[in-house]
Amino acid sequence: MTKTEFSARLKNACAAVLSAQDELTEIDSRFGDADHGLTMAKIAGAIAHAADQAQGGIRSMLDDAAMAVMALNGGSAVPLWNTWLDGMQEGAPEGDEIGVAGLKAVFAKALEELNDMSGAKVGDKTMMDALIPASQAIAAYEGTGEDGLFQVAAQAAAQGAEDSKQFVSKFGRAKSYGARTIGTPDAGAVSMSYFFQGLAQA
């Protein structure tokens, strides 16, 4: 996969998040600050712009995306996404080509960095409910094509977001609502799921 193709997938991922802004706001309004849709729109816009304007190779493009997100004023998602993207660039090649092995390295490093910062696990009702299964699906992928890799990641992220409905919130403002959060998915998991759905679109 070329840098141009990776950039197109990133922009598709951002478009998927942007199209879900109202849904994300509605979910977050139930037990949060109702700002997740707006925050994710800012994050998606920053990533898409960076991917579109990047001059260097794949690592440089992802570094630009991380820096663009870091510069935002927003909710708790901003430092989390900045850390995830920063991990991506650390695992990325400097050139303009990346294969399945390279993508596995990118997403493994990204999860490692975010795990160190977040501490959240599957079942805590956070973005990690979608990201961890997606990352595990990428790590376990045995195919040779990037399309298949992103498809299994998107499926795992979607299932993870759906599963988050069953969990009790353990982080953030929603934590105070306890068992009342059961039945509502985590907004961060849903936005992460949309991002992976977009990545799966070539």
**Cα–Cα distance for residue pair 43/66, rounded to 1 Å:** 10
pTM of the full structure: 0.97
Instruction: Tell me the C-alpha distance between 104 and 90, whole Å.
Output: 12
Q: What is the pLDDT of residue 163?
A: 98
Please say whether the beta carbons of 46 and 82 come within 8 A: no
Q: Which residues pair with 51 in a beta bridge?
A: none
Q: What is the pLDDT of residues 136-191, one digit of tens each?
A: 999 999 999 999 999 999 999 999 999 999 999 988 878 888 899 999 999 999 99
The CA distances from residue 123 to 116, 134, 173, in Å, are 17, 14, 16
Higher pLDDT, 75 or 32: 32
Note the pLDDT of residue 74. 76
Is the confidence at residue 57, as pLDDT, over 90? yes
Give the C-alpha separation, 68 to 102, whole Å.
Answer: 23
Sign for the CA dihedral angle at 159, 165, 16, 127 comes to negative
Determine phi and psi for 29, rounding to 5 degrees: -70, -20
Q: What is the mean pLDDT of the chain?
A: 96
Residues 111-135 pLDDT 10s: 999 999 999 999 999 999 999 999 9
pLDDT of amino acid 202: 83
